Structure formats: C-alpha cells, structure tokens
Amino acid sequence: MNAVRKRNDAWHAKAARIAGRAALYFVLLLYTVWVLAPFLIIILVSFEPDLQFAREGFQWWPDWSIEGYTMLFDPENEFISLLGTGFINSLWQTLIPTVGGLFVSGLAAYAYAKWEFPGKSKLFALCLLLMTVPLNAGLTSYLFYNALGWTRGGAAVLPIIIPGIFGSMGTIFLIYPYVKAVPTGIVEAARIDGMGFMGIYCRVIVPLSAPVFVAQFLFGFVGGYNNYSSALLYLLGNEDLWTMQLALSQLIDGLTESGAWLNVKCAAAIFSMLPLIVLFCFSQRYFIENVSAGGVKG
C-alpha cells in the first residue's frame, strides 16, 4: 500500500515538474517570437514586390524579389547616397564626442582616483552633486547655440559633437571605481620609471581598465548612432550633415504614399540597423557584462 502511494506521489511530482518546465519554455518561446517577429516581418516585406503588396497585402511567403534593394541601391534614386552619407556622418559625429568624452572623463576619474591635490575632495563632491542635478534644457538649448552662431550652415554640427567632448560627471563616476581598483603600486612604479601624468594614464590606467572603457565606448556609440532629436533639430536644414537616423526618417517621409514602396522602406530600415546589430553580435559580451554588473550591484 505504502509503496503504491510512494510511486503515485513520485509520479505526480514528476508530472508537475514536466508541466512546469513546459509552461516555462512556452512562455519563453512566446516572448522570443514577440521579439523576433517584427524583424522577420520587415525582412519578408523587404523581399515582397511592390505590386504584390498593393494587391494582396502582406504575405508570409511573398513572391521573392529584390526590387526593394535594387530601388534602394539604384544610384538614380539617391536613396543610397542619402543613407551612405548618413552612415559616414553618423560615424564621425558619434565617434568624436564618444571617444573624446571618454578620454576626458577617464582622465578626470584618474585624477580623482590616483592623485592628491588641494581641494580634491570638495571638487569630487561637487562633481557628484552636479551629476544628480536633473535639470536639462533639452531641445530649448537651441537658443543658446543660436546665440553662439552654432546653428547656421556647417556650424550646425557643433552642438552635436562639441558638448560631448568635455565628458560628463556620470561617466566619471562610472569609470572611477575601475580606475581606483588599479593597484597603486603599479602607478607608483610607473612614476619612478619617469612616466608623467599623461603617460601613466595612456599606458597604465587605460590598458588596465580597458573593459570598462570598451563598454562605455560601446554604449556611448550606440546612444550617439541612435540619437535622433538633436540631429533633427540642428541638422534638418543641412542635407550634407544628415545622420543615418535623420536620413532614414526623411527617406520614409519622402515615400509617404500609403501602402507603396514598403519594400524600399523596409530595406532602408534594415540597412540602418545592420551596422549596430553586427557591432552588437561581435561585442555582446561587453554589453551584457556591463549591464549585469549594474544588476549585481544593485
């Protein structure tokens, strides 16, 4: 009798476990589909002939055609030159403030972490205070840059690349603990070997805390590449300076006729997302680890 009940209990427990597992994988599958479906859909639409979409709407199995891509890459349509220029512009307009700002923020973090100078603790506290100031003029900064003359002609790019070069209090505090963790003995040894302030920074601090610099760079790059509002505000009147996001939005805007040329739109959207997705695939470790570090701490 007892043996039977035991076997029954074991069977129940096993069934419950299997059901639980199934439910778990089912929910995860559902969410995965939700995340991936939009990508799949725009890939399908990008391969659907324009006429077919107009007649039959979206098809899960379209008459595969590369019309969208040939239209996009046809030099006569100027789409590709728009997006190509956009990519180059996004690249330099993002790299300058990201790399420059990271260098400057890292330098400040290094000065706070590894050097003693009068007034350091007060400046550090001020830094912390400024970081938490939630005030931001946002779009209305335009008036200030207009006063500087940074909104006319080619100078319109300055509000996008210059402020970032000076780093930010937030980045200083993100880098600070990693720089602080570099053994002081190594810094001392480098000093005795005759390295100066900058020498130690470039040849000791940055290489030894490389992961945090790489992660910060990647997040900064993604943020800059995806930035839309300031590009729209400052660069709209200057087509030569359009970034990828601005070029994409203007390209879509130019194809407003509802229901038409969706394949070109989709191809353009894919083209604009591809650089970051490729970058992410090669560096996902840094992204995930960096975010996880935040999770562990807090």
- What's the CA gap between 187 and 207, in Å, rounded? 12
Q: CB–CB of 50/72 below 8 Å?
A: no
Nearest Cα neighbor of 111 from 207, 194, 205, 217 is 205
Smallest distance, other proteins to C-beta of residue 236, A = 8
Cβ-Cβ contacts under 8 Å for 130 (sequence gap 6 or more): 169
* Segment 219 to 258, residues that bind other proteins, using CB under 8 A: 219, 222-223, 225-226, 228-229, 232-233, 245, 248-249, 252-253, 256, 258
Smallest distance, other proteins to C-beta of residue 182, A = 8
Query: What sections of 135-196 are H helices per DSSP?
Result: 142-148, 158-165, 169-180, 184-192
Cβ closer to other proteins: 77 or 141? 141
Cβ closer to other proteins: 7 or 14? 14
- What's the CA gap between 36 and 226, in Å, rounded? 20
Cβ closer to other proteins: 155 or 269? 269
Q: CB–CB of 104/86 below 8 Å?
A: no
Q: CB–CB of 68/46 below 8 Å?
A: yes
Q: Which stretch binds other proteins (CB under 8 A): 7-15, 62-70, 81-89, 142-150?
A: 142-150
* Segment 1 to 60, residues that bind other proteins, using CB under 8 A: 24-25, 27-28, 31-32, 34-36, 38-39, 41-42, 45, 53-54, 56-58
Site string for other proteins, 188-207 (x = CB under 8 A): x-------xxx---------
Handedness of CA 38, 42, 48, 51 (dihedral sign): positive
Q: CB–CB of 235/160 below 8 Å?
A: yes
Cβ closer to other proteins: 2 or 132? 132
Smallest distance, other proteins to C-beta of residue 47, A = 13
Residue 155 interacts with other proteins (CB under 8 A)? no
Q: Which stretch binds other proteins (CB under 8 A): 63-71, 75-83, 202-210, 215-223?
A: 215-223
Cβ closer to other proteins: 207 or 237? 237
> What are the strands, taking DSSP E only, across 128-276?
none
| Residue showing tokens 């005795």 | 192
Helix axes 79-114, 262-297, angle to 10 degrees: 10
Q: Residues touching other proteins: how many (CB under 8 A)?
A: 116
* Segment 59 to 98, residues that bind other proteins, using CB under 8 A: none
Smallest distance, other proteins to C-beta of residue 61, A = 13
Smallest distance, other proteins to C-beta of residue 50, A = 12
| Residue showing tokens 């391969």 | 47
